[in-house]
A and B are shown apart, each in its own frame.
Chain A
Amino acid sequence: MRVPPGVTPKDFSDAIEQWQEALGHEWVFTSDEDVDLYRDSYSPFWHEDIEPVPSSAVAPADVEQVVAAVKIANTYKIPLWTISTGKNLGYGGSAPLLGGSVVLDLKRMDRILEVNDKNHYALVEPGVSYFDLYRYIQDQGLKVWIDVPDPGWGSLIGNALDRGGGYTPLRDHFDAHCGMEVVLADGEIVRTGMGALPGSHTWQQYRYGFGPYVDGMFSQGNFGVVTKMGFWLLPEPEGFKSGTVAVRRHDDLVPLVETLNYLMNSNLVQGTTTIGSPLLASGAVRSATGGGAALVATPGGPSVEELEEIGRDQNLPYWNCQMNFYGPPKVVEAEWECAKEKYSKISGATFVEGPTYQLPYDPKDVDKLPKRQFGIPSLTIFGLMGRSEGHMWFSPIIPMTGEAVFEAQRVFGQAYHDMGVPAINQIFVFPSSFFPRSFVILCGFPIYHDVEKNRRSREVFRGLVKAAAEHGWGEYRTHTAFMDTVSDVYSFNNHALRHFHETIKDAVDPNGILSPGRCGVWPKGLRKAHA
């Protein structure tokens, strides 16, 4: 049996016995066969000794068992790594950052405690997946929509705490939460917002309660174990419409994004929009650039003028943007007309009108619908994986301007070039508005059961983090393998924010048992080793 770092075999054995008594033998996993199921299926460390492998796993069924499990860990100073459904593949999956940690697996806590389709919210436990909540709403005939990230098997709570995004107007998942229940390192149960008021009926309706608002501390953090969380849901819309605007010239991206900002920030266009490029994605350009990642402006590649010429010859717009509208059919038609009017100021802009859906939809038609925009969970995204054995995401936030996209093209193209890596080896996706008022660029790195390829990918990943930071761009979220790397670049005023996080960590978790190292926050005893 593996033993956590800094813990004696005798103490660990005693803790295991106590967990077995508190949770049941069946839910304390210690054999290699069982514990290996908690390794990161998409690990960038496959077949390397440095892969962080857990020592064991414990799976409580309710908040009382979470309290018991945490208190035992605190007594013996055993590091726990909390997971909800463990499906944030590409960001570490179910594996800890610190090898030897005990995984606190909350998957068994899978109760949907309330769904309200009059005030439009849900209250769930961490083991509830998007599929679970969607099926429940369908079965009960409730008039609300959820928002889903690309893979639907993840946890609402886990994804929101990792600050994931989706596609509908409630796409910023942490922003859509309302109220939490949290178990602290000493086993105390805290409810945030209106949940702190006994007998409150507004825990999922008013976020802030009274006094300092602390919910953010538990996102991308390690200050507590979230055991319940409320989410605002979208009232089932009466209609949905999409439409696409396309512009011909490279520099048209600037007014395209400026107009998009106006439309989105005025709530006339809702949900995630993605900037695309029919020209750069075309076979003509792919053959000119030698492959896939044409958005990256690699030194020595075709010039803007040459690309625009291909666009003119092939009748391909340089940029386009699909917009979504949710609401009564009359309203979405008017919003589309408004968008067209605004974009018509860009010379040569063209429009493709998408269908207008009258809702509610018939569940029999679900495979014909744009699932992500309708909050219908699926695993379709994995169809992009090809023959790779996993992936990890490089995902910097950049300003939502055309100029910033051009700069990102140049900087990342140069970075690939300087590192001697062809950009076409990466899966490159165009800038998206997963979060309000900024773009995120998602760049997928394939993972293989090949030590050298993965080492090289890690090196390139770190190079891109550095290149991004030098231009004022930072990752919104990252794989456990790079949490220190990314934390290091958020360094304003000599890492003042990290020092503040550490001060809180030392106060609320003095034994450093909760998810050590998560997002660069290490407990006092491990801080020096990871500086």
Chain B
Amino acid sequence: MRTRWLVAMSMFFAVSTPAAPDQAQVERGHTVYDKWCFPCHGTGPGKPGTDSLRQRGQNPAVLEERTDLNASMIRFYVRHGVLFMPTFRKTEISDADLDAIAAYLTRNNKK
């Protein structure tokens, strides 16, 4: 578990140069996000992912509102899970859909 966190944190702080997001990719990512991520990480009551991040001091806690996520980190958590968040298989979220989620969640990052 500790190893998973260390790898994740190294990804978090990794310097990356994001390519300009493709609008169609961002829109696709929004759709996939709404289906797979929003029920846990969205706004409103009863969103345990958002609540868990908030309890650990993350501000903003809603993933869509963040500007500090990077694609590697997003891929890592979707494929490895963390705490009570399980892994997601490729029959659920394909690699292409995962790239689209990453494009959506990094759309507002400072370039």
Interface residues of A (CB under 8 A from B): 27, 29, 34, 36-39, 41-42, 57, 59, 85-87, 89, 93-94, 105, 107-108, 127, 131, 152-153, 367, 371, 377-383, 385, 387-391, 449
Contacts and interface: CB of A to CB of B under 8 A. Distances in A.
Contacts of A41: 81, 86-87
B18 interface: no
Contact of A379 (B35, B48, B83, B89): B48
Q: Which of B1, B47, B83, B90 has the most CB of A within 10 A?
A: B90
B: contact size bracket: 20 to 34
A378 B46 contact: yes
Given A37-B79, A390-B84, A383 B48 contact: yes
A29 B89 CA distance: 10
Q: Which of A41, A380, A382 has the most CB of B within 10 A?
A: A382
B51 interface: yes
Contacts of A127: 91
Contacts of A389: 1, 83-84
Contacts of B44: 367
A383 B46 contact: yes
Contact of A86 (B35, B83, B89): B89
B46 A380 contact: yes
A105 B90 CA distance: 10
B39 A107 contact: no
B91 A378 contact: no
Interface in B37-61: 39-40, 44-49, 51
B48 A37 contact: no
A382 B87 contact: no
Contacts of B47: 379-380
A152 B39 contact: yes
Nearest to A382: B48
B87 A37 contact: yes
B89 A385 contact: no
A89 B48 contact: no
Interface of B: 1, 35, 39-40, 44-49, 51, 79, 81, 83-84, 86-92
Given A37-B90, A108-B91, A380 B84 contact: no
A38 B40 contact: no
A385 B84 CA distance: 7
Nearest to A87: B86
B90 A382 contact: no
Nearest to A380: B46
B89 A382 contact: no
Nearest to B86: A41
Given A367-B44, A379-B48, A107 B86 contact: no
A52 B14 CA distance: 34
Give 6 nearest A-B pairs by CB, closest first: A41-B86, A380-B46, A449-B1, A382-B48, A107-B91, A385-B84
Contacts of B40: 379, 382
B39 A34 contact: no
Contacts of B51: 383
19 contacts: A27-B91, A37-B87, A37-B89, A39-B87, A41-B81, A42-B86, A57-B89, A59-B91, A93-B86, A105-B89, A367-B44, A379-B48, A381-B48, A382-B40, A383-B46, A385-B83, A385-B84, A389-B1, A389-B84
